[in-house]
Amino acid sequence: MSKLGIPGIAPELEAELTEGMARVESLLLSHIQGDYPLVEETSRHLVAAGGKRLRPLLTLLASHYGDKNKFGVIESAVVCELTHVATLYHDDVMDEAKLRRGVESANSRWGNTVAILTGDYLFAKVSALLADIGPEAVRLQASTFERLVIGQIMETQGPRAGEDPLEHYLGVVADKTGSLIAASARFGAMVSGAPAEVKETLTVFGEKIGIAFQLADDVIDIASESHQSGKTPGTDLREGVPTLVTLNVMKSTSAADRELIELLKAPIKDEVVVAQVLSQLRTHQALEQSREQLQQIARDARTALGPLPVNDVTGALFSLCDAIIDRSA
């Protein structure tokens, strides 16, 4: 496995991407600097904590289908990562999360108000970058941000009467996660001047791999310990937020699952009960069923890459699909 998390990547491409990601990291840290020490400290908190950096990596990969050295490629990659980080500050407030990226969440350390305003500050810094890239970038960010917000509202509201809860959830995932990862790929193709058909193909791929990425997180939230994932296991159980695994359990008609289903219908605040439910879910057939559904969506993402030229970049995108499945195994 390469340092970029893409198995079997061509050495020359890996070197180019590593250099590009170093530039992204440098701009990430310099762009959030400000005149007020607390704001800079809170902004650096999650940026410096790292993360997988999937979104900027996809932007850089996509830029290789055009002129990867054009102005706006690195800036677009930073836009995508800062947008993602800003949403994490807000998500952690809504989820009352205690841990993020292996460190104390901003809301736990500084309180909800500071965490929310830090997210807002990062959105402002994103807008400044977009103004330099151009109006097409601003429009793409606006449509993406609209989907991010709608997805969050849909999650909060829940499925409508008669709507299948799993289908509703997959729609939420497409908006909340898939949209920004799709935009990350589209940004790279768009700014680099890649052909229109390549831009559209990468957008479709990005959304599918984004959905797979979130579903992998659903599995990890149940199956992994905090030292493995950098997150607190069972966060969604505590908030009563449905995930792929719990929705598969809810479909069960087995009498043996009745008590578990009742527990999953509401937030679980008792840590002893959370631990018990996690233990049950880790041995439940719904976990394996969720892994199979994740693998199918990853296969769909691979299929979407069909129109792209056969080269090292396309090969890396195929390998990325495999890596996402592997992290949930």
**Token pair recorded at residue 127:** 């807008």
Among 261, 170, 244, 254, CA closest to 210? 170
pLDDT tens figures, 226-261: 545 556 788 889 888 899 999 999 999 999 999 999
Going by pLDDT thresholds of 50, 70 and 90, the confidence category of residue 216 is: very high
Q: Report residue 103: phi and psi, to 5°.
A: -125, 165
The Cα 177–Cα 51 span in angstroms is 15
pLDDT tens figures, 29-59: 999 998 889 999 999 988 888 788 999 999 9
**Token pair recorded at residue 94:** 């809504």
pTM as predicted: 0.91
Count of CB atoms situated within 10 Å of the CB of 286: 21
Decide: 48 and 29 in contact? Cβ < 8 Å. Answer: yes
Going by pLDDT thresholds of 50, 70 and 90, the confidence category of residue 2 is: confident
Domains observed in the chain: 11-327 (1.10.600.10)
Going by pLDDT thresholds of 50, 70 and 90, the confidence category of residue 3 is: confident
The Cα 130–Cα 137 span in angstroms is 6
Decide: 245 and 222 in contact? Cβ < 8 Å. Answer: yes
pLDDT value at residue 53: 92
Tokens 């449905």: give the residue. Answer: 242
Q: Where are the alpha helices (DSSP H) in 224-311?
A: 226-229, 235-239, 244-250, 258-264, 271-282, 285-304
End-to-end Cα spacing for the chain: 15
